[in-house]
Structure 1
């Protein structure tokens, strides 16, 4: 499932998050000391009272709003750990929901690379066009989970887009709400690019097998009500250190009013460089 760096306003907001997080983590640490490992793994007796339940409802509203539009154009920026490296990419994207279709034009790195995927076409394979000398070999037809593709991606293209991003967080929170040791907070006046957002932040004080991430942030754009950014942080390796970024996916310049057709996902499109 990134223009590369964060805006100044995003950076300032993240610094505020960091300061607030560490004060909270000290409190969590004191609480965790009074719980045994057995209790930490016990499921919550009444999941309906779990603090993640309202967060899930908010996220579901976001997903419904996204699914209500047939498609969109946007700029997609991502930072994600692949192997042992933090990979950053930015691209222009077109996404159509039915049939699920994606067109990508890379801005950085590999500027000019194009990727097309359409469910049920081209043997369900990506059509990849590189730039420079690599373009001489022509269009590559690759499976979504081909090792060459996954060498710089955590997820296959079949999980790209706003709807998949929101659904992934919902699925994660639904699984986590079976357990305790979860704190949920809400923040106002955050920004992603020019978007004014509300943020839902869930966190867990201690690494547990049932928690894939230490902290999750879902950014909801106030005007459209759509989720436009997700951040996932790992558990700090040392006390009083910042949690490492594992995933950071942001969508900006979203144009839901566009009418996308088969031509937008066709290698013969004269506007493309296939």
Structure 2
């Protein structure tokens, strides 16, 4: 289930969201990948609001060598993406999301839109049409969770073409499904986009989304709401699972 290969890229800043058990696992895997020459970076950050999180404790003991930032996830995201937008190497940054985190990308785009047009003109709405996935559930915060798996997946699965649970061919991909979903919506429920953040495997079982995609999505929303109202599908997805949101601006 864990792929040892990497994409060989040199990243700018890699941010691991959360310094608990998942963040610690991703940190160790990235360090393994770096030693093997599968991946590299200029800066590796683990962000957690708890100064005594597991990664911070390991760092104090000398076990890990990442930069620890003590901050709420949203606060860090606001500051880091603002800096990234001003840097020429922004396209080389990436974020390692936690399986248990809120829809970080949707929340950031929502805050950015509120800064531009005012909080009263921005809303996170429930999906008018459910996506055609075997499993789905609407969250209490307006996020809609969807999955092609009706079973419990291994947390370290890299979603190979052959599913490690069913042993069959994985014939689905959530990014493609999101594009098809938007294209199939009826006129009264049209959404722009989709703005897809694909958490794809990069090295040693670690998935990431690219900072460049987040910045491009923010620009897309700004352009399409400069003179009026629009609604967007925002989706952070892997091949098999996704967190979806309908964002209305203007």
The alignment's TM-score, normalised by the length of structure 1, stands at 0.26
The alignment's TM-score, normalised by the length of structure 2, stands at 0.27
Rg bigger for which structure?
A: 1
